[in-house]
Structure 1
């Protein structure tokens, strides 16, 4: 999720200033995505530049609330209507790490997989404990985010199991033999010695 669209969605509720937006964002996502106040104000500046929000007159204490514009509502509606593509998401660092571990000399790939599985299982246990808390009707947004995190951790454990099984079946191809070094003739040896 982009911070840009998150802030637009929050401003659809009504005008807010930066600190209110930050608190509402973290509340809506169950604090799973902590937001730096600098990110909020930088994003608000860009949204204002793009005509998607506009500042209102300052309130007491110098706080300047922002409100969403008609263009901002149109942009937000388009975002909600457009499915998220896998290519829009960040690269999967774990998949890249394991692919590189397979081709890096001296790396115990099974140890890398096992270390990740242990970490992911700890995370899954922690998430499961959070899910066991008492349900409150107002917690649905947080519960949905938490469910997504649980499903992702479970999927990662299944994928790591698959990786481990693949490693057991994998027979590395024979590395090409090192190229023989041709002996240098006398003039080349002299040149190399200089």
Structure 2
């Protein structure tokens, strides 16, 4: 959905070609979420089907100029004014991975958490360096400001993920400590004299 409305927001500023939309979308978001050109044209086709944009002029699909319609502007205005729905969150691969790992025998869940934490911290350091570079360049265009906002969102998300991983590790350690030890099989008792003595063979002695 974000691609759909992102393209509408760019078209609201004036007609664009598909290749222009792709380049401007990536420029605005700092290529944090690179677009496949096929995604762009598929989304444009759906926007046109829904009456939110119209083609302008001639040319084939790859050289077609698109413009937003009044219905498209209304749809875009609703998107900007309505909060992003968090009651139906998108699937998170890391959360699913850990949820599956805790129920899979033989897996070292702590090692999975530690490996993910190292990766997330490294990514956060990369984002922080990019942010410092952006700030050192000083205030620039609206695209520069947009990229800075995206970078900060990525940093905050990585920080939150690191805290959640710490919480998961602590919870698993507490649960492991509270789990009662596995019952050991009872030790064999002393052998009964009647059963322990080997049976005599043959008849009685005279």
Secondary structure of residue in 2 paired with 1:34: coil
**Structure 1 residues 82 and 175: alpha-carbon distance in aligned structure 2, compared to 1, 3 A threshold:** farther
Judged with a 3 Å threshold, the aligned counterparts in structure 2 of structure 1 residues 50 and 174 are, in CA distance, closer, same or farther, namely farther
Number of residue pairs matched by the alignment: 176
TM-score by length of 1: 0.84
C-alpha deviation, 1:154, in angstroms:
0.5
After superposition, the C-alpha distances for 1:60-115 in whole angstroms (9 at most, x for unaligned) are xx822100000000111111111112234411221121111111001100001001
Quote how far apart the aligned CAs of 1:169 are: 0.6
Task: For 1:45 and 1:129, locate their aligned partners in 2 and report how far apart those are by CA, in whole Å.
Answer: 38
Counterpart-to-counterpart distance in 2, 1:34 and 1:175: 51
Out of 139, 151, 168, the position equivalent to 1:146 is 151
Q: Unmatched 5+ residue regions in structure 2? A: 184-206
Counterparts in 2 of 1:4 and 1:25: CA distance versus 1, 3 Å? same
Q: Which moved more, 1:48-57 or 1:78-87?
A: 78-87
Instruction: Say what the alpha-carbon RMSD is for the aligned residues.
Output: 2.1
Return the TM-score normalized by structure 2. 0.80
SS of 1:103's partner is: coil
Provide the residue aligned with 1:28 in structure 2.
28
| 3-state DSSP of counterpart to 1:54 | strand
User: Match for residue 191 of structure 2?
Assistant: none
Paired position in structure 1 for 2:171:
166
Local SS of the residue matching 1:86: coil
Pairing partner for 2:139 from 96, 120, 136:
136
Alpha-carbon offset, residue 132 of structure 1: 1.1
The structure having more radius of gyration, on CA atoms, is 2
Corresponding residue for 1:100?
Answer: 100
Q: Give SS of 2:67's match.
A: strand
Report the Cα offset of residue 137 of structure 1: 2.3
Equivalent-residue separation in structure 2 for 1:174 and 1:21 (angstroms) = 60
Partner of 1:112, secondary structure, is: helix
2:84 is matched with which residue? 84
